[in-house]
Amino acid sequence: MRLVRGGHCRPAKPLRGVIERERAEIGALISMEAPTKPMLKEAAEAGFYQPPGLANKYPRLQILSIAELLVGKQVEYPRLLDVRYKKAPRGKGL
């Protein structure tokens, strides 16, 4: 994440622009304050990311408050264990 800002909560539009410009699959905004309704609307409009080969979908723009982090909420993203790789063929003579 390259965007760091201070101050009061503002709409999530700048973050959405950054994830689109950087071609990031998922972006997260962590705030000291609870997100506003316009921020939540902007996050919902950003859509979902579905990794190739997985059925799970993850919100492209996620907004979490410090209070949510302190009670255990986490950024949703595909974990390495969620990815399924094809089994490599055995070499000849082994």
What is the per-residue pLDDT for 70?
96
Question: How is the chain split into domains, by residue range?
Answer: 13-71
Token pair of 27 as six digits: 């972006």
| Cα dihedral across residues 54, 59, 61, 67: positive or negative | negative
| Cα dihedral across residues 9, 36, 57, 60: positive or negative | negative
pTM for the whole structure: 0.70
Question: Per residue in 8-60, pLDDT tens?
Answer: 555 566 878 888 888 899 999 999 999 999 999 999 999 999 988 888 999 99
